[in-house]
Amino acid sequence: MAEYELNKDAAAWIREQIRKKQYALDSDWGDSQPNAEAQNTYLKNHSWDEYARWHLGLTVGASDETKARYAFVVGDFRRIHRTGLIACVYRASEWRHKKVEVAAHDLLQELDRVAGIT
């Protein structure tokens, strides 16, 4: 099983996007999650640093500036998705990636607070 570390820069950037209300509250993550084609298109027009900030996890041992390095995507390259954060909490907890799980949970709580979900 792959090992992941928390992408702290992404967590800070995601929190900033939440505060700016750059999020989608109701989406089908299966339809919204960027597929390989969307990722490739994004990378044609953006830097690897910009790509990385959408991912809460960094794959230990994977080379920088490869898609294999970045895991636990939380948005569609335009907005953070509440369902993306929920998926991250679920997947990270399922595979015991505790730091990613806790960060995704905290960001989900922040999004809910900002959005007025109680």
pLDDT band with cut points at 50, 70 and 90 for residue 48: very high
Q: pTM for the complete prediction?
A: 0.95
CB atoms within 10 A of CB 93: 15
pLDDT of residue 31: 97
- Mean pLDDT on 56-62: 98
pLDDT of residue 118: 77
Percent of the chain with pLDDT over 70: 100
Closest CA to 55 of 68, 36, 37: 68
Q: How many domains does the chain have?
A: 1
The Cα 111–Cα 80 span in angstroms is: 9
- Both tokens of 62, joined, read 């994977």
State the residue range of the domain holding 40. 4-115
